[in-house]
Amino acid sequence: MSKLFDLSGKVAVITGGSRGLGLAMAHGFAAHGADIVIASRKLDACRAACEALQTEYQVRTLPVAFHAGKWDDAARLLETVDQSFGRIDILVNNAGASPLYSSLAAVSEELWNKTLDLNLKGPFRLSVLAAERMAQVGGGSIINISSAGALMPSVHELPYAMAKGALHTMSATLSVLYGGKVRVNVIVPGAFLTDISKAWTDDVHRRIRSGVPMGRAGDPSEIVGAALYLASDSASYTTGAVIKVDGGVAFSRG
């Protein structure tokens, strides 16, 4: 299995990689030989994650303070990666958030802009700049982390769902523009037991148990296989794909 998903010699950049699904993917990639760049707003958390990866897997790591919603931070991140590693082979656009609001009418322009910046504008800029670099050195893999809300949004997350839906469009278009050189794919997670799940109410847990065909939320480790496949040469004929990792969700949420 390790040979099937061998990432030795590759450099993987994971935004929002200091916790949750991003950190789970970082561990999966490092376990298969990749050097890891953890890019997130909290540098201390990035450093802690990198130290743990280095100790456990003996790979090279780099923590970078990075705001996924800021246009200019994309170029700065990639320049920092170039200075340390000289290349980027894998990009995971994982950073994202869905700010709360009381009603659609209460959505402010500030919340709207913040949501679209973080979940769409930033990933677009970073993906394009990374793809250009990857294409120049023979190729690479971009994995955009979406949300089940992009396919079945609720009234409580519409701006977020719209941004993630546009992320699908962006990924499909980039997969065509860069052809076989840079593969661009989407993973659509459902409910996962990350640190944010600690704030879920009993009602949320009940809705997951009744609404998800598998009857439960996922463990972060359960997204790693899909990410490893898309990051590795095993997916050499896979681009423009949308892979759902959601426990079989097939219900209308609202």
Q: What confidence tens digit (pLDDT) does each residue in 108-162 have?
A: 999 999 999 999 999 999 999 999 999 999 999 999 999 888 888 778 889 999 9
Q: Once rounded to an integer, what is the mean pLDDT over residues 79-105?
A: 93
Return the pLDDT at 156: 82
- Which residue is it, tokens 């082979």? 89
Listed ranges 146-160, 165-179, 193-207; the one with the highest mean pLDDT: 165-179
- Residue 160 annotated among the catalytic residues of the structure: yes
Lowest mean pLDDT among 52-56, 103-107, 232-236: 103-107
How far apart, in whole angstroms, are the C-alpha atoms of residue 236 and residue 196? 34
Q: Which two tokens stand for residue 157?
A: 């997350």
179 Cβ contact list (under 8 Å, min separation 6): 239
The answer to whether 177 touches 153, Cβ cutoff 8 Å, is no
* The amino acid at 178: Y
CA-to-CA distance for 58 and 238, rounded, in angstroms?
30
- Residue 15, classed as helix, strand or coil, is strand
Catalytic choice (57, 101, 160, 178): 160
* pLDDT for the residue 199: 65
Average pLDDT over residues 15-21: 94
Indicate the SS3 state at residue 34: coil
Residue 92 CB: number of other CB atoms within 10 A? 26
pLDDT of residue 252: 40
* C-alpha neighbours within 13 Å on the C-beta side of residue 196: 14
Mean pLDDT of the chain: 90
Higher pLDDT, 237 or 207: 237
Element spanning 92, H or E: strand 90-93
